[in-house]
Amino acid sequence: MQETFLKIIVCGDGGVGKTSFLNRYVNDEFSEDSEMTKGVNFLSKKIKKNGNAFDCDLILWDLGGQDQFRFMLADCIDGAAGALFLFDMTRFNSLDRIDDWMAEITEHGNIPVMLVGTKCDLKHLISDFLDDYASQIVQTCANCIGYIKTSAKTNHNIHDTFDYFIDILGKRMKGYESDSNSIEGSIV
């Protein structure tokens, strides 16, 4: 049987927790002092019927979120089957530039994007208005297929994010999706 490779990019502003999110998913590790990603890092993971997901090799691109690495963005997005856009739930302004990120991603095709709130363990620092705001974004961005709240520190919803997202990507690849622009719904 032919192997399926699925390229997923993990993007978002600097310090929102992209590397931590991936490190928890792939290595089941978390560090309080994770270092800034310089450029881009790659991780991979084999998926074998995890939840509803199909068998594939995930190639995960961990993009450095600092502005000095934005020149690499176009090359990184190229060929991606999907994008996880991470924002820090304790910093509302980490959603400020989502329109720029979305514009850049959609330039490369009809790539599904999932909105992922990070650091949900820091409940006391999270605004009551955040959920409404994030849900509004999901409804207004054509390619945005859902919103989920996660914590790499407590391992909350990390695997569920991938199970849900890979399932959606798999259906698209196998042609089950009749309307790829439709909103699939949110999970939180």
Ligand X SMILES: Nc1nc2c(ncn2[C@@H]2O[C@H](COP(=O)(O)OP(=O)(O)OP(=O)(O)O)[C@@H](O)[C@H]2O)c(=O)[nH]1
Q: Which residues bind ligand X (CB under 6 A)?
A: 14-20, 31-34, 36-37, 64-66, 118-119, 121-122, 151-153
CB 6 within 8 A of CB 56: yes
23 contacts Mg ion (rule: CB under 5 A): no
Of ligand X, Mg ion, none, which one sits near residue 20, judging by CB under 5 to 8 A according to partner kind?
ligand X
**In sequence order, what are the residues at sequence separation of 6 or more whose Cβ sits closer than 8 angstroms to the Cβ of residue 117?**
86, 87, 88, 89, 130, 134, 147, 148, 149, 150
Q: Which is nearer to ligand X, 143 or 151 (CB)?
A: 151
Of Mg ion, ligand X, none, which one sits near residue 112, judging by CB under 5 to 8 A according to partner kind?
none
- How far is 182 from 134, CA to CA, in rounded Å? 17
- How far is 146 from 137, CA to CA, in rounded Å? 9
Of ligand X, Mg ion, none, which one sits near residue 33, judging by CB under 5 to 8 A according to partner kind?
ligand X
**Separation of first and last alpha carbons in the chain:** 35
- As measured in angstroms, the least distance from the Cβ of 38 to ligand X is 8
Residues near Mg ion (CB under 5 A):
18-19, 37
